[in-house]
Structure 1
Amino acid sequence: MSALLCTDVLDVLCPMHLTLNATGHITHAGPTIQKMRADVPMVGQRFLEVFVVKRPRSIANMHDLRQATDLKLHLELRDAPRTELKGIMVPTSAADGSMIVNLSFGISILDGVRDYSLTNADFAATDLAIEMLYLVEAKTAAMEASRRLNLRLQGAKIAAEEQAFTDTLTGLKNRRAMDTILSRLVAGNSSFAVMHIDLDYFKAVNDTLGHAAGDHVLQNVARIMVEETRETDVVARVGGDEFTVILPDVRSDDILRRVGRRIIDRLEEPMPFNGQECRVSASIGTVWIQSGDHPSMEALLSNADVALYASKHAGRARQTLYSPELRDSANAGIPPIGRSERVNEH
């Protein structure tokens, strides 16, 4: 009866204890340690067949284990999951050579709770593991709240950055975005092109039909330019009726001519607005930077302006590809009409 009372008491105070007989067989298992091997009763098995003693390393048999009383044992269950445990073994006062081994998870308590679905009912009421679990749960909740806050802040930061690089009327990139992208391309060593596009007759739309019509035209122009360029190209609105298209990885001027032609043709189509027709066209100045060229961004944009100037003077609604001769004509104050007719496509 006293032995039964003893195990009943130990089950409450030390729910992860084991009692061993003189041969090292398990004679009783506390409810929590048995719950960890619910399908295989521990009673009747040899202790060293259920557990591996990892430290002290000198323990190889029950005789060695008996000599390790009052020492901290580092154990591991032999079957998966191979949970690591801490333990201490003490002999009982009985003359039969029985022993009690009290076990705990130590720092692996989180793994134990997860692997065996343990709750606070599986631990002694005074076990510090309960406080540890509460602290871990509180820390986990705080970290999750912090993670969600960081995600919201990161999302807000990305949205703010995106807004800072976006033209609010058209949804295109703005001049700030264009400068950033061009700076990166200029610093690289790959081929790319820049189209500077100015709308012809846009002022007439604003003056005759109003700013609402002008905004309608700009939004349509933005949509058409996006539709007529690749996903890898960047379309930016850099002024009231000025746009820039950046085309990375350009391998021939034929590509540029075709893109420019498509944009010009599409923009010459009338745009209905409140029963009226808005008519504009586009003049384009294009600079093609080939691999190995290293222009400054200022020179690049200046060259695009020179080519655009040539398109305007050649009759508008056309594209001019920049060449050094255009710069010579511009510097001399000579309208580059002949030069534009030679290099443009119309």
Structure 2
Amino acid sequence: MRADVTGFRLKMDSMTLARFMPMHLLLDADGCALSYGPTLALVLQDDARLGARFEDLFEVRSPGGAVTIQDVLARAGTRFRLSPRNGARSGLRGHGQSLPGDGRILLNLTFIDLIAAVRAIALSDADFAASDLAREVLFLAEANAAVTQELRGLSLRLEGARMAAEEEAMTDPLTGLRNRRAVDLVLDRLCTGRANFGLLHLDLDFFKAVNDTLGHAAGDFVLESVGRILREQIRAEDCAARIGGDEFVLIVAGRTDPRTLQRIADRIIARIREPMTFEGQECRVSASIGIVRSVNSAAAGAPALSAAADRALYAAKHAGRGRAVMLE
């Protein structure tokens, strides 16, 4: 190709043209393809054939009514918008110019949506000229993607930390059960929703004697053991909590049958009554349990039910300890 540039004769072969204009299309005077830039060839794929007519390669989006390249240049001057006819989702814009001498036409194209095109065709910065601003755009897009990914990761870490903090705030550190705050929230939710459940209030008998004779380490061992027993006796939808000292609460979701709740309490009492060995010493405790059912206090709120369970527990203690009493 020969072109006049400020009085000089410039000769440019196809390899040089491809290097500096990887999205070029060179047409003869009749609008038939003479050469394609390598990046444009990736867009057109099998349609990038020598001799293919411009109108067979592209649908002209702007200027309106144009079909051939001659129509485009006559109506739009040097700027236009195109869509490949092969269905590639890569809208193109560009400018063109008839070259002096033999009437050949040189088009230099670029993508309307560069980022979408890069994703659709899997392009890299090597597919663009070194001086093309597309390289800067791709760099910024990659940097933005990296920052976005890092921010997303940071957000996930912060959310995980928040959830962990909330979990810790709801957990008794010694036994791993829920704590009083968690119990209050669960009871409020169940009472507000008028759900059916059983509430068991448990207190250890003779726990003070273990602490006084064997020490606080033995007492902590007993509390941890009781926590393990309670976890084994409940389902995933139930709630077991240590609400302070040697007091525990069980919320048994959906179960209000007196015999069922009594069996649960009796199993727990039997397990806790079994000797627990700490550093060769037996720790003997028992459990007293007060039971109430939400169906007996349909209009009562969480504080009223908790107070009723406490009265049931006091009745169990008064009746001789190591037993369960249900308030009807």
Instruction: Give structure 1 regions of 4+ aligned residues with deviation exceeding 6 angstroms.
Output: none
The residue that corresponds to 1:290 in the other structure is 295
Deviation at 1:88, TM superposition (A): 2.5
SS of structure 1 residue aligned to 2:293: strand
Give the 5 Å matches for 1:217-236: 217-236=222-241
Alignment pair present for 1:102 and 2:108:
yes
- The runs of 5 or more residues in structure 1 that have no matched partner are 324-346
In 2: Cα distance, 1:123 partner to 1:184 partner:
61
The residue that corresponds to 2:284 in the other structure is 279
Number of residue pairs aligned between Structure 1 and Structure 2: 321
The residue that corresponds to 2:24 in the other structure is 17
SS of structure 1 residue aligned to 2:106: strand
Deviation at 1:39, TM superposition (A): 5.3
Identity of aligned residues (%): 45
Deviation at 1:22, TM superposition (A): 3.6
In 2: Cα distance, 1:189 partner to 1:55 partner:
66
- The runs of 5 or more residues in structure 2 that have no matched partner are 4-10
Match of residue 261, structure 2, among 235, 256, 261 = 256
Alignment pair present for 1:120 and 2:125:
yes
Deviation at 1:257, TM superposition (A): 1.4
Deviation at 1:267, TM superposition (A): 0.9
Which piece of structure 1 moves more, 287-296 or 128-137? 287-296
Which piece of structure 1 moves more, 262-271 or 61-70? 61-70
Match of residue 311, structure 1, among 309, 313, 316 = 316
Aligned-residue RMSD, C-alpha: 2.3
The residue that corresponds to 2:155 in the other structure is 150
Q: With structure 1 as the length reference, what TM-score do the two structures score? A: 0.85
Compared CA separation, residues 121 and 242, structure 1 to 2 (3 A): same
Compared CA separation, residues 40 and 269, structure 1 to 2 (3 A): same
Deviations 1:97-154 (A, max 9, x none): x322221013x22233334343333212221111111111221222222222222222
The residue that corresponds to 2:204 in the other structure is 199
User: AA paired with 1:82?
Assistant: R
Deviation at 1:56, TM superposition (A): 3.7
Q: With structure 2 as the length reference, what TM-score do the two structures score? A: 0.89
Give the 5 Å matches for 1:1-346: 2=2, 5=12, 7-37=14-44, 41-61=48-68, 64-70=71-77, 72-79=79-86, 81-96=88-103, 98-106=104-112, 108-290=113-295, 293-323=298-328
The residue that corresponds to 2:8 in the other structure is none
> 1:189 touches 1:291 (CA, 8 Å); kept in 2?
no
> 1:69 touches 1:89 (CA, 8 Å); kept in 2?
no
Which piece of structure 1 moves more, 8-17 or 192-201? 8-17
In 2: Cα distance, 1:232 partner to 1:2 partner:
82
The residue that corresponds to 1:332 in the other structure is none
Which piece of structure 1 moves more, 153-162 or 32-41? 32-41
> 2:78 touches 2:97 (CA, 8 Å); kept in 1?
no
> 2:199 touches 2:293 (CA, 8 Å); kept in 1?
yes
> 1:234 touches 1:245 (CA, 8 Å); kept in 2?
yes
Deviation at 1:82, TM superposition (A): 2.7
Deviations 1:29-62 (A, max 9, x none): 1122123345554322222222233344423455
In 1: Cα distance, 2:66 partner to 2:76 partner:
12
SS of structure 1 residue aligned to 2:86: coil
Deviations 1:47-86 (A, max 9, x none): 2222233344423455643433436433222335432222
